[in-house]
Amino acid sequence: MIRTRNKNVTASQWSANGSSIDIVDLTDQANVPFGSKVFTISEQTDRLSADTIKKLQATLETGESLDTSLADEVATAMKDWALEQGVTHYTHVFQPLTGSTAEKHDSFFDPDGEGKAIAKFKGSELIQGEPDASSFPTGGVRDTFEARGYTAWDPTSPAFILDNPNGALLCIPTAFASWTGEALDAKIPLLRSMDALSKSAVRALKLLGDDETSRVFTTVGPEQEYFLIDEQYFYERPDLYTTGRTLFGAKPPKGHELDDHYFGSIPERVLAFMMESERELQELGVPVKTRHNEVAPGQYELAPVFENSNVGSDHQQLTMQIMESVARRYGLICLLHEKPFAGVNGSGKHNNWSMGTDTGGNLLDPGHTPEDNVSFMFFCAAVIQAVNKHQGLLRASVANIGQDHRLGANEAPPAIISIFLGAELEKAFEVISGNPSDAEGPGEFLELGVSVLPPLPMDGGDRNRTSPFAFTGNKFEFRALGSSMSLAFPNTALNTIAAEAIDELADSLEKNLADGKEIPEAVAAVVKEAYGASKQVCFMGDNYDEAWHAEAEKRGLKNLRTTPDALPEVLADDTVAAFENYDVLSRRELESRFEVWVEQYTTRANMEGETTDSIARTMILPAALRYLELGVNAEVSAVGDEVRPLVDELISRIKELEQANRYPDGIEGLELAIYARDNQLAKMAEVREVADKLEKVVPDYLWPLPKYSEILFIK
């Protein structure tokens, strides 16, 4: 058996790793693992005074400022709980502008002066840490010599324990800010945006006659897509372990043309991985709900139920970390890149977003009463107005180099941001706008003083898988997020622009009410105006159709195809005004993020360019030359006729890529990112095109890289 086949047989073999889940009686609540590794409200109630619990709840439920006098009591209780579970160290987990989480571990134990150690954890240590800010990306907010950065305890996201074979770690979710107060992380802007939206929404609800709601919060339910491949193939692919995606790879004879992988039976090893991942996530309080095979071979999905946006964002970072960790126990690698394999579907992270009230309501649920429908139409119109006005910002919020290989492809929404409303909801808006002829279909209209609102049944419209931003019953599904991305900035943007639009509609509503109109009539007038000015962003058809691109251009919608096209929207006047007016991000903080994201794009492009050059020159070219030599020695002219032109072309393409990899002097920032896109990435694609042709003719035993037909199908 040739070498490659031996590797395939090895990769296909698997046996249980010994960490099987015991079968227990799950009707006994004591056997349910959910939240067992979390410092939950229940744990806090058992360990803290009634007064402290009351004050903590005020922070969690109403957004009141935290009473720092509670810190010592909470720290002691948290420490004791952690020590009881074998924890020796604690860390403040934060989210710098790297897109991932960061942590520095400190021991609970200090020498007691008598040759022993004693566990200590003070309130000041809980509230604040100093991990040093100098080496994290700041976009110029902090100079390298200005090192100080502080973590600040976020009591709204519960502490949890991460187990390790050699111990356990207490993880405390925190925010991360500079010594001068700028946000250096993803959490602070998200929390600010949630506060901003709550204030705007509560104001609007009062105008709509709701005097009970005192706080509105946003919720997210992200659907995480990912690939699993055998780790043997991963470590034989320098492109995968360096950049996260394959820079070479010919299309295999079978992809997902048969649609047989989607929702198919889950392979045993993969299911075992899923079960262990889910058990760990449940212990950590992550409400994982759904698992299934996705469209592409080797691709899967994990989805939780809805949570508060801040907690959901923290949990999503934790989910990616746990999946990557658990996969290794099964000889697998979890790939979170948006497009790890060309020619098959990439991976997204559908962001299901809604607005809930502290009274248990959902502002994006049509409801069952006239009053509910009036409120729903108001808030839905605000979302439409927000997305239309800030379509460029939303596109920028999901931009990265991996997304450029996915957005607009056959499985993903295009780079044009549009809204799908569904037939029933579109009908309602068209009737309000005075266009009943555009609202064909069955349905009775409600009599609310003015005959404007039809009944809106839950899930009254079909889904549109091609839409970047679709209404799906009681939420909007922002489908354009990439699988590797943090939820934080896209939801920060959504919350902020929604707050702005709600206030703008509330201003109009106040004027209409002051003119003596009843609430239903006043809302109808506001909704008519808002929808009429923004309906161009609503599209019910196939977003993949090329005709939509031309239609979108006629409508004045933006088509920001790549990250360098999209990122300047972060600094657009409307963006800066919205973020500054709602105290979410200052212009300087936005500029810092823009600079960080541009630099990350260029850095990743350069990593890919240099890796492509290295693999092509040191692995693929020698294999092709060896095959050419075999043909010449065997005096088989057909081999030389076929391979020699490809070898010559490959050498030429490599030289051109090497030149493109040498960045010109004097350009930086966005200009350098555009250069990388138009030169470096373009030349990489040309090298790949030739190499993939060679893959199809060079003998299997000579080809140096595992092929898609192996990586994607052998489990």
CA distance 253 to 250: 9
| Domains by residue range for the chain, with CATH | 30-184 (3.10.20.70), 193-584 (3.30.590.10), 597-711 (1.20.120.1560)
Instruction: Give the Cβ contact number of residue 707 at 10 Å.
Output: 20
What are the structure tokens assigned to 306, written together? 């809805």
What are the structure tokens assigned to 584, written together? 């979410």
Asked whether the beta carbons of 263 and 299 are under 8 A apart, the reply is: no
Tens digit of each residue's pLDDT (9 = 90 or more) over 461-487: 556 778 899 998 889 999 999 999 999
pLDDT over 60 at 231, yes or no: yes
CA distance 336 to 630: 40
Nearest to 485 by CA among 642, 625, 630, 346: 346
CA distance 527 to 206: 17
- Band of the pLDDT at 567, cuts 50, 70, 90? very high
Beta 288-293 vs 299-304: how paired, if at all?
antiparallel
- Band of the pLDDT at 179, cuts 50, 70, 90? confident
Nearest to 560 by CA among 421, 353, 400: 400
The reported pLDDT for the residue numbered 144 is: 53
Cα 685 to the center of its chain, rounded Å: 26
The reported pLDDT for the residue numbered 435 is: 75
3-state secondary structure at position 379: helix
Tens digit of each residue's pLDDT (9 = 90 or more) over 43-86: 999 999 988 888 888 776 666 666 777 888 999 999 999 999 99
502 φ, ψ (degrees, to nearest 5)? -60, -45
- Band of the pLDDT at 568, cuts 50, 70, 90? very high
> Mean pLDDT throughout 329-340?
96
Partner residues linked to 178 by β-bridges: 149
> Mean pLDDT throughout 282-289?
96
Partner residues linked to 228 by β-bridges: 334
Q: What's the one-letter identity of residue 111?
A: P
Asked whether the beta carbons of 29 and 35 are under 8 A apart, the reply is: no
Nearest to 646 by CA among 250, 219, 126, 178: 250
The reported pLDDT for the residue numbered 54 is: 85
What are the structure tokens assigned to 522, written together? 């006043």
Asked whether the beta carbons of 503 and 200 are under 8 A apart, the reply is: yes
Average pLDDT, the chain: 89
Tens digit of each residue's pLDDT (9 = 90 or more) over 406-447: 886 656 677 899 999 988 888 888 888 877 655 444 444 333
pLDDT over 60 at 452, yes or no: no
CA distance 293 to 298: 8
21 φ, ψ (degrees, to nearest 5)? -90, 125
Asked whether the beta carbons of 55 and 70 are under 8 A apart, the reply is: yes
- Band of the pLDDT at 134, cuts 50, 70, 90? low
342 φ, ψ (degrees, to nearest 5)? -75, 145
